[in-house]
Amino acid sequence: MCAELLPELITTDPWGYPIIAPGPVPRDLLPLARYAVTMCPTLALLLTRAERT
Amino acid sequence: MTGPALAASVSTGSLAAGGLPPEALVVTSSTPLWYVTRATGLIALVLLTASMALGLLSSVRYQRPAWPRFVTIGLHRNTALLALAFTGLHIVTTLADSFVPVKLQDVVVPFVSAYRPVWLGLGTITFDLLLALAVTSLLRTRMKYRSWRLVHWSAFLCWPVAVLHGLGTGSDTRVRWVLALTAACVALIAVLTAWRLANGWPSHAGARLAGAFALVIVLIVGGAWLTAGPLQPGWARRSGTPQHPVSGGGKPNSTSPADGTAGGTSGGSR
Amino acid sequence: MSAAGAVSAGPAGSALPPRGLPRLIPADGPLRLADHVERYGPVPFRDRRGHGGRFGAAGLIGQVERAGLTGRGGACFPAGRKLRSVAENGRRAGPLRGQSGAVVVANGAESEPTSAKDRLLLTFAPHLVLDGIALAAEAVGATRAYLCLHESSDKLVFDLGAAIVERDRVGQNRVPVQMVPVPGGYVAGQETSLVNQINGKAPKPAFVPPRPFQKGAHGRPTLVQNVETLAHIALIARFGADWFRHLGPVPGPAVPSAPGSGAMAGSALVTLSGAVRMPGVYEIALGMPVGELIRRAGGPSEQPQAILAGGYFGGWLPYARAHDVPVSDPTLRAVGAALGPGVLILLPESACGLAETAWIASYLASQSAGQCGPCLNGLPALAEMLAQLAFGRPDGSALGGTERLLALVTRRGACHLPDGTAAFVTSALTAFAGDLRRHASYGPCPRARRRPVLPAPGHAWGAKP
């Protein structure tokens, strides 16, 4: 379902599990990313703050 | 809930003059609040049914090109919150309505009210469960997933109890279209539950069989109770509608308050 | 190799450091406590005021860092760095209900079926391991320790229990050591699996972060270390980092900052099996060429084809390629394999490398903890693909499908199982590319029909997790 909400960053593998694009979430997609994390039926997604390297 | 507003009123002025007659005429409350209570109750039931249906749809991962999964989940969430809102309204009008003796404690403590204690109590339980479901779901990301899921299972208790509350407490159970509406809700949820049982838990055949069994039993027992209970005359008295004292004058009406209404002169059903 | 048994007491009751090999495994049989103390000297704990030990307060961690000791459990992570992190986190976490910050977990579960060194070490030199536990506990400020063992080894559990009691009687343990029986299963011996078991949960890997060195057993910073690593720590504490590194013809300079310099220092236990004349556990100086080790084991027993280095998360190497590679993690990784928990298996010409890989891929798929969709679904699909490549007549799409699956399972699980399996399979596709072409043209080879060389305890084709 998260792939529906955030197709820019998430695709599904053949078994329905999310494949997340590497790299940080672009700022304009952040609210949608937060929504996807909250709505995931199994709470499988996590939004973390990237560390500054 | 249609029909002429009955403006019967009772004077209690002479109550102090003597003891209470053994049986008394109970009078319809015709205040707008009572109508609002019944209306919000029905609407809340419909919304709760919709939410339950969408939840079941989500659990079978229903999906069509024009209906992605997030629509199911989003609508499920919104109808649930709306149902909660209407339930809140339904409770507020009940409390504000001076006619039925429902107190604040009856909102959260079941089976202690003076008015149809069992059936109102079911409404209390519905509200308590709705609160638990809503609060845990709003705090979903801050609690353990397993705890949230455990609480969310109580939806399978909340919805049937709400239906029973409506049938048992409601004044309109014998009204045809209300009965039809309730039946439609029950049918919808029954079908969707059967679908969910057929599709879920591939590795737990025992649980699925038990669930199917439970579904059938609940439907049969529920139907039997309905025909023997609320659909029979005299339900209002049997369910514990309190008798109201009336002023003297004339023999008390020896028949119990009429069918299905929260006390009404006959012919007063909507 | 000079016998380490011929040691005489040095000044002040300390023992002279063992020269050459073996260091860990006594050549004359299992050592009881009294003999152990006589051979190696007393455990150099700090005194009551926290001074002394051989290198003073915080000295042990510094020595282990200087020695460049890397973990011997498979990941080859620098042990000194792990000790330091746990010590710091323990200090920061502070005492809880009177206990100080950290916990020590000794991993002797040895879930890798191809490895036998930990069992051997615990049988022959239990007190070295227990010394290591005690010293590590002192260094990180722990007040309890756990020793994890495979639950099937009754005798080992019994003997180790007796050894612990013997040490308790003379105050040699410093912290209470509790034994933890670990069920069989490839992922049961993983560090977060062990922590989960200690915390009373199922023996399955946990999602990280937090890693055990941050938050592990009972929520405390936890040091999880292989038993061989702890045994090395026990010797470094007595004889120092320079002694540790000085092995073989050229003494390694102590340059801890140089990457990889630690991974080639000191000795390591290696389990050598497959088509060699004298299979078993050997203690070698890291950096010894593979061919040399095989020669010492009597040479190949059949015509050798390839070597599996690093166990089931390691990689295949054609024999000619592997022959001159020094045994150490960085050098083996540079050629597409790994050291892992010190495992080398010689595959003879009479076996089919693809068939063996398909067999083990099927085993690893059945070992999934079932917590992550990509592993639970992807590994059986991968095993299925490999079975086609090994026993069928693969067309071009089979190889493409396999490569797509390999990309789908990597870095998508809570533990290393899908990644390790993918690395193992990838190396097979490279090393046995010739076999792949032959299978595509002529169908499966008759060599595929022989009994598997690689062990998969309790596994049958098509077993599910």
Confidence grade of residue C297 (pLDDT, cut at 50, 70, 90): very high
pLDDT at B29 (0 to 100)? 53
* CA–CA dist C389, C426 (Å, integer): 13
Confidence grade of residue C284 (pLDDT, cut at 50, 70, 90): very high
Average of per-residue pLDDT across C172-185 = 92
pLDDT at C58 (0 to 100)? 56
Strand partners, C270: C282
Angle at A23 between CA A17 and CA A25, to 5 degrees: 85
Q: Specify which of A1-5, B32-36, B253-257, C179-183 reaches the highest per-range mean pLDDT.
A: C179-183
Strand partners, C308: C316, C345
Could you tell me if C185 and C153 are in contact, meaning their C-beta atoms sit under 8 angstroms apart? Answer: no
Q: What confidence tens digit (pLDDT) does each residue in C124-160 have?
A: 999 999 999 999 999 998 989 999 999 988 999 999 9
* Omega before C418 within 30 of 0, i.e. cis: no
Average of per-residue pLDDT across B19-28 = 45
Q: In terms of C-beta distances under 8 Å and separation of at least 24 residues, what long-range contacts does A3-9 make, across chains too?
A: A4/B68, A4/B69, A4/B70, A5/A32, A5/A35, A5/A36, A5/A39, A5/B70, A6/A32, A6/A33, A6/A36, A9/A33
Q: Do chains B and C touch (3 or more CB pairs under 8 A)?
A: no
Confidence grade of residue C367 (pLDDT, cut at 50, 70, 90): very high
Which chain A residues touch B68 with a CB distance below 8 Å? 1, 4
pLDDT at A38 (0 to 100)? 85
Could you tell me if C48 and C35 are in contact, meaning their C-beta atoms sit under 8 angstroms apart? Answer: no
| Higher-scoring residue by pLDDT: A22, B237 | A22
| Higher-scoring residue by pLDDT: C58, B270 | C58
* CA–CA dist C131, C127 (Å, integer): 6
Interface test with C, best of A12, A13, A45, A48 (most C CBs within 10 A): A13
* CA–CA dist B182, B168 (Å, integer): 12
Average of per-residue pLDDT across C201-213 = 89
Domains of chain B, by residue range, sit at 22-238
Average of per-residue pLDDT across C101-129 = 95
Per CATH, is C11-246 categorized as 3.40.50.11540? yes
Helix, strand or coil for residue C197? helix
Of the listed ranges C94-103, C145-154, C227-236, C350-359, the least confidently predicted one is C94-103
pLDDT at C14 (0 to 100)? 61
pLDDT at A30 (0 to 100)? 87
Query: What is the CB neighbour count within 10 angstroms for residue B34?
Result: 19
Which chain B residues touch A39 with a CB distance below 8 Å? 70, 73-74
Distances in Å between the Cα of C433 and the Cα atoms of A8, B32, C127 are 37, 84, 47
pLDDT at C291 (0 to 100)? 94
Question: Considering only the top CATH level, what class is C353-449?
Answer: mainly alpha
Order of all β-strands in the sheet with C102-108:
C177-182, C142-150, C102-108, C222-226
Residues 6+ apart with CB under 8 A from C124: C25, C26, C29, C30, C31
Question: Which chains reach chain C with 3 or more Cβ–Cβ distances below 8 angstroms?
Answer: A
- Among chain B residues, the shortest Cα distance to A2 is held by B70
Confidence grade of residue C82 (pLDDT, cut at 50, 70, 90): very high
Do the domains at C11-246 and C263-348 have one common CATH topology?
no
* Partner residue facing B70 (CB), from A4, A37, A42: A4
- Among chain C residues, the shortest Cα distance to A16 is held by C373
A36 to chain B, closest Cα gap in Å: 9
C373 to chain A, closest Cα gap in Å: 6
* CA–CA dist C255, C66 (Å, integer): 7
Q: Do C374 and A17 touch (CB under 8 A)?
A: yes
Helix, strand or coil for residue B201? coil
pLDDT at B51 (0 to 100)? 96
Query: What is the CB neighbour count within 10 angstroms for residue C359?
Result: 23
pLDDT at C199 (0 to 100)? 94
pLDDT value at C193 more than 80: yes
Helix, strand or coil for residue A39? helix
Confidence grade of residue B1 (pLDDT, cut at 50, 70, 90): very low
Q: What confidence tens digit (pLDDT) does each residue in C21-69 have?
A: 889 998 888 988 998 998 888 888 876 555 555 665 458 999 999 899 9
Which chain B residues touch A4 with a CB distance below 8 Å? 68-70
Helix, strand or coil for residue C225? strand
* Partner residue facing A43 (CB), from B58, B70, B141: B141
- Among chain A residues, the shortest Cα distance to C377 is held by A15
- CATH architecture assignment, domain C263-348: Roll (3.10)
Percent of chain B topping pLDDT 90: 32
* Omega before C279 within 30 of 0, i.e. cis: no
Strand C304-309 to C280-285 pairing:
unpaired
* Partner residue facing B69 (CB), from A1, A42, A43: A1
pLDDT at C11 (0 to 100)? 42
Average of per-residue pLDDT across C11-17 = 61
Question: What's the distance, CA B58 to chain centroid?
Answer: 24
Confidence grade of residue C111 (pLDDT, cut at 50, 70, 90): very high
Which chain A residues touch B80 with a CB distance below 8 Å? none
Q: What confidence tens digit (pLDDT) does each residue in B51-62 have?
A: 999 999 998 888
Could you tell me if C121 and C347 are in contact, meaning their C-beta atoms sit under 8 angstroms apart? Answer: no
Collect all residues from A whose CB is shorter than 8 A from any CB in B.
1, 4-5, 37-39, 41-43
Which chain C residues touch A16 with a CB distance below 8 Å? 373
* CA–CA dist C287, B196 (Å, integer): 61
Domains of chain C, by residue range, sit at 11-246, 263-348, 353-449
pLDDT value at B19 more than 80: no
pLDDT at C71 (0 to 100)? 94
Domains of chain A, by residue range, sit at 2-39
* CA–CA dist B109, C428 (Å, integer): 67
Residues 6+ apart with CB under 8 A from B46: B181, B185
A20 to chain C, closest Cα gap in Å: 9
Q: Do A19 and C412 touch (CB under 8 A)?
A: yes
pLDDT at C249 (0 to 100)? 52
Average pLDDT of every residue of chain C: 87
Strand C142-150 to C177-182 pairing:
parallel
Q: What confidence tens digit (pLDDT) does each residue in B130-152 have?
A: 999 999 999 988 888 889 999 99
Question: Which chains reach chain B with 3 or more Cβ–Cβ distances below 8 angstroms?
Answer: A
* CA–CA dist C465, C457 (Å, integer): 14
* CA–CA dist C361, B206 (Å, integer): 33
| Higher-scoring residue by pLDDT: B235, C77 | C77
pLDDT at A5 (0 to 100)? 86
* CA–CA dist B123, A50 (Å, integer): 48
Q: Which tokens go with C52?
A: 């002394």
pLDDT at C209 (0 to 100)? 77
pLDDT value at A52 more than 80: no
pLDDT at B206 (0 to 100)? 82
Question: What's the distance, CA C281 to chain centroid?
Answer: 13
- Among chain C residues, the shortest Cα distance to A13 is held by C408
Q: What confidence tens digit (pLDDT) does each residue in A28-47 have?
A: 888 888 888 888 887 778 78
This prediction's pTM: 0.79
* CA–CA dist B198, B60 (Å, integer): 9
pLDDT at C47 (0 to 100)? 65
